[in-house]
Structure 1
Amino acid sequence: MSAPTANARRIRLLVLDVDGILSNGLLIYGNQGEEMKTFHTEDGLGIKLLQRSGIEVAIITGRESAIVARRASELGIERLIQGREDKLHALRELVAELEVELHEVAYMGDDLPDLAAIAKVGLGMTVASANPFVKEHALWCSQRSAGRGAVREAAEFILQAQGKLDDIRQRYLSGEPG
């Protein structure tokens, strides 16, 4: 069993960055100054599958955005930390609050502000489109790019390692996804 798979078996919390993970990282502004982001529905389902399997999902992002708050609410993500560039410190506060150990956490980020958190958790994860230096230090890297189903791929990796993915797929096949 590979180290990423062994570590994924212990995961109780997945923490996600937003720009460059849940979104493609592009910042789009309208003429009225409004911000727009795109999110992939496959990532949303992956998050819900984790939650239904008893794995909590949280977001730590350096920017503040009403769009992110809306998406987190839609997905039932209760732990949303915005406006924090000190992501490792924010992560430590979060795990203390949730009474989770760092080795039970997967953190998925794509750039230098995520690097310390990626290095300290049990399963440091990134995306195919991540900064090359971050990719060197992550334990697991998706084949998909940010905002294009990479979070779903990470969710399925964790669920597969924990022996839960086949049962989930069978429930969907039988028409009972809940």
Structure 2
Amino acid sequence: MKKKSKTEIAGIARNIKLLILDVDGVLTDGSIILDNSGNEFKAFHVRDGHGIKMLMRAGINVAFITGRKSEVVEKRARELGITEVYQKSFDKLAVYLSLAEKYSLSDGEVAYVGDDIVDLPVMKRVGLPVTVADADREVRKYSLLVTENGGGRGAVREVTDIILGSKGLLKGIIDGYLKA
């Protein structure tokens, strides 16, 4: 897929009404840490979370679709106020199609951030397919945008800022913080 200029990306991002995120490798660095008791640990980047909250406050829906099931993901989603959480999703495209129908969205109104080949069926459909800097090489071929940061290292915040900026909302958000 031919990469787009910043202006072209902004034009596409202006139409986004739903951001769908993979979890492992996108919201995290892809590490799965298990202790001897079977407890699972994941690290999430705080700026990614803040970007998600800003996006949601601006009226843009956010969903998680992941192939694994983890209580940690449920907890993080609750902290962020995300209600559309799909775990153990082996057919991510079916979940995507269901979400698009639920919110009456066209492909061009959806952005998806993935990092591995399991994400490709959705990435081939959405208007703004994005991957993180440390994604699988094949996935990059199907992305209009590759973030500068890796998964779990602020990549999602890059995407939220692009969407908010393209809609003319980011400056107002920043100005609001400066007035506080």
TM-score, reference length from structure 2? 0.95
* Corresponding residue number in structure 2 for 1:135: 140
SS in 2 for 1:120: coil
Instruction: Give structure 1 stretches of 5+ with no counterpart.
Output: none
Q: Is residue 73 from structure 1 mapped to residue 78 from structure 2 by the alignment? A: yes
Please state if 1:90 is matched with 2:99.
Answer: no
Equivalent of 2:123, from 115, 118, 125? 118
Q: C-alpha distance in 1, partners of 2:143/2:92?
A: 16
Query: Per the alignment, in what secondary structure is the counterpart of residue 15 of structure 1?
Result: strand
Matched-pair identity in %: 45
Q: Counterpart in 2 of 1:105?
A: 110
Q: 1:50 aligns with which of 47, 55, 73?
A: 55
RMSD (Å), alpha carbons: 0.9
Which structure 2 segments of 5+ residues have no match?
A: 1-5
Instruction: Give the drift of 1:2.
Output: 3.2
Match of 1:153 among 154, 158, 170: 158
Instruction: Tell me the distance in 1 between the aligned counterparts of 2:145 and 2:121.
Output: 15
Q: TM-score, normalised by structure 1?
A: 0.96
- Alpha-carbon deviation of 1:136? 1.5
How many residues align structurally? Answer: 175
- Mapping 1:11-50, distance limit 5 Å: 11-50=16-55
Structure-2 separation of matches of 1:132 and 1:5: 24
1:4: Cα distance to partner? Answer: 1.7
SS in 2 for 1:159: helix
User: 2-side partners of 1:2 and 1:149: how far apart?
Assistant: 22
